[in-house]
């Protein structure tokens, strides 16, 4: 195949998980269910926090942003995949592929930065509780989120601009369910050395840097918790960061499993299947992790759903009965 510069008329083929027609309804139903759970689960978290004035604190401010990013994160890939299955087409235009890749990297970076910021918030809350309200003031919280957005935008723009300079073969098949950066670079007919160097350098800054910050924060948190004398105090301190630690572990371990496992490196199909863990499953589980392990979120969800009002009405009606 002859290389040639891409234009707006070029097309990619998203091969997805399976080309067997009998499996398409099953895949469609499974991913539609997971997408709806992700969207409504994170949306409920946002609305519950917004409706409860007691949760207007830095911790829940960052959680609201994380839930919003998770909705956007899954919305960059799953709707297009569902549309392709429904229309029995694997085509995605070059422009749409570049756009999808840009927003996917943008929201991936935001996920990583927000998890890092939330780790810092828990570090200040547990290690410097007397100065927490002074340090984590609204101005700093807004600045941390803004910096996360700016860094993610520049990171995504860097990779996108590097891909735009590449030439691709005329028939381009991506063995994935979305336009993933590494898969696109593999399809390039031009030299990709510079692209690979940028990927490695950016990975060190975007993944390793925040991970080191998270590990440092939790090492200090663990040291502070060990210094608490009462068992109840230790449990209370640990419970405030258990949900976040669970989400961090799930996100990073699944990402590492995708890009460093032998199966993923040998098979593009295995990589696509493994990618489901951090692109779909993790955003879907986040609302459950935070709601099931957090009493404040549970109370906010009950207030938002009107359960206390319903309970009070039932009690009043029972009292009226002879």
Residue 314 tokens, joined: 């039932």
Q: Any idea which residue has 């780790």 for tokens? A: 119
Residues of the chain with pLDDT > 70, as a percent, come to 85
pLDDT of residue 261: 56
Averaged pLDDT for residues 250-278: 66
How are beta strands 3-5 and 167-169 bridged, if at all? antiparallel
For the entire predicted model, the pTM comes to: 0.86
Q: What dihedral do alpha carbons 181, 267, 258, 166 form, nearest 10°? A: -10
| Residue 316 pLDDT grade (very low, low, confident, very high; cuts 50, 70, 90) | very low
pLDDT of residue 200: 86
Position 99 pLDDT exceeds 80: yes
pLDDT of residue 22: 82
Show Cβ contacts of residue 225 under 8 Å, excluding neighbours closer than 6 positions.
Answer: 126, 234, 237, 238
Q: What is the CA radius of gyration of the chain?
A: 23
How are beta strands 172-174 and 11-14 bridged, if at all? parallel
DSSP character string of 70-105: HHHHHHTTHHHHHHHHHHT--EEEHHHHHHHHHHHH
Position 19 pLDDT exceeds 80: no
Position 319 pLDDT exceeds 50: no
Position 235 pLDDT exceeds 60: yes
Show Cβ contacts of residue 157 under 8 Å, excluding neighbours closer than 6 positions.
Answer: 102
Q: Which CATH code, of 1.20.1070.10, 3.40.50.10610, 3.40.50.620, 1.10.10.2520, is assigned to 9-305?
A: 1.20.1070.10
pLDDT of residue 257: 64
pLDDT of residue 311: 47
Tens of pLDDT, residue by residue over 162-204, are: 999 888 876 678 888 899 888 888 888 888 889 989 988 888 8
pLDDT of residue 101: 94
pLDDT of residue 273: 72
Residue 242 tokens, joined: 């258990």
Q: CA 213 → CA 54, 56, 198, 219, 231, distances in Å?
A: 29, 25, 22, 10, 27
Averaged pLDDT for residues 95-105: 94
Position 317 pLDDT exceeds 60: no
| Residue 243 pLDDT grade (very low, low, confident, very high; cuts 50, 70, 90) | confident
């Amino acid at each position: 195949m002859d290389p040639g510069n891409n234009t707006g008329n070029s097309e990619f083929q998203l091969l997805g998980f399976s080309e067997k027609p009998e499996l398409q309804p099953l895949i469609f139903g499974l991913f539609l269910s997971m997408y709806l759970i992700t969207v409504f689960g994170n949306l409920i978290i946002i609305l519950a926090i917004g409706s409860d004035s007691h949760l207007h604190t830095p911790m829940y401010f960052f959680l609201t942003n994380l839930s919003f990013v998770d909705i956007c994160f899954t919305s960059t890939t799953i709707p297009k995949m569902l549309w392709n299955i429904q229309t029995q087409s694997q085509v995605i235009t070059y422009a749409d592929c570049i756009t999808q890749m840009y927003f996917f990297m943008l929201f991936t970076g935001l996920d990583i930065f927000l998890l890092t910021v939330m780790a810092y918030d828990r570090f200040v809350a547990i290690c410097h509780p007397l100065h927490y309200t002074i340090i984590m003031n609204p101005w700093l919280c807004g600045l941390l989120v803004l910096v996360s957005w700016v860094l993610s935008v520049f990171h995504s723009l860097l990779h996108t601009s590097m891909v735009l300079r590449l030439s691709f073969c005329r028939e381009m098949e991506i063995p994935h369910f979305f336009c993933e950066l590494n898969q696109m670079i593999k399809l390039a007919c031009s030299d990709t050395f510079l692209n690979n160097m940028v990927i490695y350098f950016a990975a060190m800054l975007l993944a390793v840097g925040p991970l080191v910050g998270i590990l440092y924060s939790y090492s200090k948190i663990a040291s502070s918790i060990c210094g608490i004398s009462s068992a109840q105090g230790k449990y209370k301190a640990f419970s405030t960061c258990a949900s976040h630690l669970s989400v961090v572990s799930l996100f990073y371990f699944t990402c590492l499993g995708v890009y460093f496992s032998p199966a993923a490196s040998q098979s593009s199909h295995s990589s696509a299947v493994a990618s489901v863990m951090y692109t779909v499953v993790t955003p879907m589980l986040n609302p459950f992790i935070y709601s099931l392990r957090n009493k404040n979120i549970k109370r906010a969800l009950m207030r938002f759903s009107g359960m206390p009002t319903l309970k009070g009405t039932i009690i009043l009606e029972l009292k009226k009965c002879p």
